[in-house]
Amino acid sequence: MSFISKDTQIYREDEKSGHKKLRPEQREELLKNYLPAPPSRQRSSSRARKQGSSRLGVRRFLKAQLYALLYLFIHAIFSLYIRTRGAYRAVSSRLISILKHHYNSPEYIARDVATLSRLPNHLSIILTLENGGRGDALEKLVNEVSEVAAWCAAAGIPTLSVYEKTGVLKRYMTQTHRSVCHRLKIWFGKHQVPALALFARGAPTIRSHSRQGLDLILVSEDDGREAMVDLTRVLTEMVQKEKIAAEDITMDVIDNELSEAVMSEPDLLISFEPYVDLQGYPPWAIRLTEIHCAPDNQGVGYQLFLQALRKYAQATFKLGK
């Protein structure tokens, strides 16, 4: 309700005089017509009854029970779906592994990849040291590296990089090289075993033969960080000594230097976890890399390796202009 002009004029005159023209009772009487009507006693009593009934918590209790029932229902449906999906994929993977087993034969793997339109020149995998390195976890990790290396050699993939977050394989490079060579001899025979070169940043290269063969690169979480720090220090010193100009440091230069310091960018990255977990993998090394993993997968398996190669062969790369 708006004020009428007469009351407005009276109030403003009283305000100009410092509220000396009207007494408090007169000001209250002036504003009384513009105040909302007080709530009726009947409405207040009904509100009191409603508050009294709500204090019993019956409605709140029923809502809580309804929400709990809906939660249990959704949880049961989702759990049933997850368990059914896991069981289906486990059984199907087991059947395929029996029907499509390589039998430690390079000829079988060569036959499996013969129908693929292309293969990656550089394959990278992510492995995890289980149980914090206790027990036979290191031996299991080395066996997984040897197994995947044999698959790559049989498939004709020239470069394999193995990312393990802690870098424990670098401390056992000689043992790793010996294990991989032994596995390759079992697969290819003593006289046809391919050459193996084992690389790791900050460590001397270990080679089995001088001829071209499989290049195995060991990568850890520290490699990416240390490579960036070292490259930044070197480029800064070169700019300060005026050996190069700051304008000459481009993305291509940084990319080439990082590739030489650690490794080139892989074409395909396989994660043997049931979800994509890069675990600190150097991000600059997988800008255009095809990443593959399989839900509900458990452990390193040949079927996932072959499935990743098939997905890579069917992938379409749009690099833009």
Burial code (b: 16+ CB inside 10 Å, e: under 16) for 133-149 equals eeeeebebbbebbbbbb
Cβ atoms of 277 and 271 closer than 8 Å: yes
- Nearest one of 159, 110, 92, 118 to 303, comparing CA atoms: 92
CATH architecture of the domain covering 108-314: 3-Layer(aba) Sandwich (3.40)
DSSP 272-290: -SSS---TT--GGG-SS-E
C-alpha distances in Å from residue 41, one per residue of 13, 50, 231, 233? 38, 14, 81, 82
- Nearest one of 175, 174, 146 to 162, comparing CA atoms: 146
For residue 302 the two structure tokens come to: 């040949």
For residue 98 the two structure tokens come to: 């029996």
Q: Which conformational region is residue 241 in: left (phi greater than 0), alpha (psi within -120 to 50 degrees), or beta? A: alpha
CA angle 90, 95, 101 (to 5 degrees): 115
pLDDT at 2: 62
| 103: number of Cβ within 10 Å | 7
Amino acid in position 103: Y
pLDDT at 121: 95
pLDDT at 3: 65
pLDDT at 219: 92
First-to-final CA distance of the chain: 67
Q: How many CA atoms lie within 13 A of 125 on its CB side?
A: 25
| 203: number of Cβ within 10 Å | 12
For residue 197 the two structure tokens come to: 């070169």
Per-residue pLDDT 10s for the chain (321 aa) are 566 777 777 777 778 777 777 777 877 777 777 777 776 655 555 555 555 555 557 888 888 899 999 999 999 999 998 888 888 777 877 777 777 777 788 999 999 999 999 999 999 999 998 876 666 889 999 999 999 999 999 999 999 999 999 989 999 999 999 999 999 999 998 888 999 999 998 889 998 876 778 999 999 988 877 777 888 888 888 888 888 888 888 878 877 777 777 788 899 999 998 888 888 888 877 888 999 998 888 889 898 999 999 999 998 876 655
> Rounded to an integer, what distance in angstroms lies between the CA atom of residue 123 and that of residue 155?
11
For residue 300 the two structure tokens come to: 């390193």
Check residue 168 and report its DSSP letter: G
Cβ atoms of 180 and 146 closer than 8 Å: yes
